[in-house]
Amino acid sequence: SPLLEVRGLTASVKETGQQILAGVDLTIREGEIHAIMGKNGSGKSTLTKVLVGHPHYEVTGGTILFKGEDLVEMEPEERSLAGLFMSFQAPIEIPGVSNFDFLLMAVNARREKTGLPALGPLEFYSLVSPKIDALKMDPKFLDRNVNEGFSGDLALLDEIDSGLDVDALEDVANAVNGLLTPKNSVMMITHYQRLLDLIKPSYVHIMENGKIIKTGDSSLATHISEGIVIDDYPLLQYLL
Ligand code: ADP
Ligand code: MG
Ligand code: MG
């Protein structure tokens, strides 16, 4: 059976009831790399967050099976233990550098670019700690070395390429490629072709208005970034 099988998934913002996911179908098998593309606001991040059990969202319909088990019924920690991994920053392998150090560096690099003063470790800790709580992540995550625990059977990578220069992008791509085994699978969200040139996806999906509206092979991404109308692209009979 597939590693991940999503059928007719609908989900809403818990607080307001606003529907974001409007019937997502997605099948990921062992050893496959799936790229999710689509315009800003199409629901890509929400899909990832719903898969890991982010508390802001409520599944209102459909099913998610992970290794044949009902994921919706599982707590975020159970999902993680079952082998679902989500990165919320670039998973570059840096021996001896903790996730905390890495996130602090990444945040400060971005702040510097936008002219904001760098954060000290304590300031950053008070910023990141509530987010770790809100995501129900294990607080020990911050102490672990970068890339440790990046060992799930299915890694969900949300825009790990954003804000990276070419060298860093190559490091990230190498890290992701290094993860791949015949059993591990990756679902990565990206806006850009450049990551997909370095990590060849088995399938590319286009998301729009909370649904996957197209599925193809890696050439689908090329078509999109070239601005070619993708309506005629032959759909793979993959989502049956
Ligand atoms: P993408 O990652 O494709 O850019 P998102 O999943 O972040 O899209 O968002 C999809 C849509 O859902 C957007 O219109 C966004 O504003 C809305 N949305 C997502 N999460 C929330 C939330 N917690 N509260 C309100 N609106 C949300
Ligand atoms: Mg977005
Ligand atoms: Mg997003």
Condensed to tens digits (0 to 9), the pLDDT of residues 159-192 reads 777 666 777 777 777 767 776 777 888 898 887 7
Is any atom of ligand 1 closer than 6 Å to the C-beta of 40?
yes
Is any atom of ligand 1 closer than 6 Å to the C-beta of 45?
yes
Tens-digit pLDDT profile for residues 37-50:
988 899 999 999 99
Q: Does residue 16 register a pLDDT over 50?
A: yes
Is any atom of ligand 1 closer than 6 Å to the C-beta of 13?
yes
Rounded to two decimals, the pTM is 0.73
For the chain, the domains span: 4-84+179-225
Q: How far is the CA of 86 from the centre of ligand 3 (A)?
A: 13
Q: What letter would DSSP give residue 55?
A: T
CA 29 distance to own-chain centroid: 16
Positive or negative torsion for Cα 230, 234, 237, 240: positive
Q: How far is the CA of 89 from the centre of ligand 2 (A)?
A: 14
Q: Is 41 helix (H, G, I), strand (E, B) or coil?
A: coil
Is any atom of ligand 1 closer than 6 Å to the C-beta of 46?
yes
ipTM: 0.98
Q: Does residue 236 register a pLDDT over 50?
A: no
CA dist., res. 183 & res. 191, Å (int): 26
Question: What would the CATH number be for the domain defined by 4-84+179-225?
Answer: 3.40.50.300
Which ligand lies nearest to the CA atom of residue 47 in the structure? 1
| pLDDT number for residue 94 | 44
Q: Which residue has the higher pLDDT, 22 or 180?
A: 22
Is any atom of ligand 1 closer than 6 Å to the C-beta of 193?
no
| pLDDT number for residue 237 | 21
Q: Are 214 and 206 in contact (CB under 8 A)?
A: yes
Minimum CA distance residue for ligand 1 atom 22:
13
Q: How far is the CA of 21 from the centre of ligand 1 (A)?
A: 9
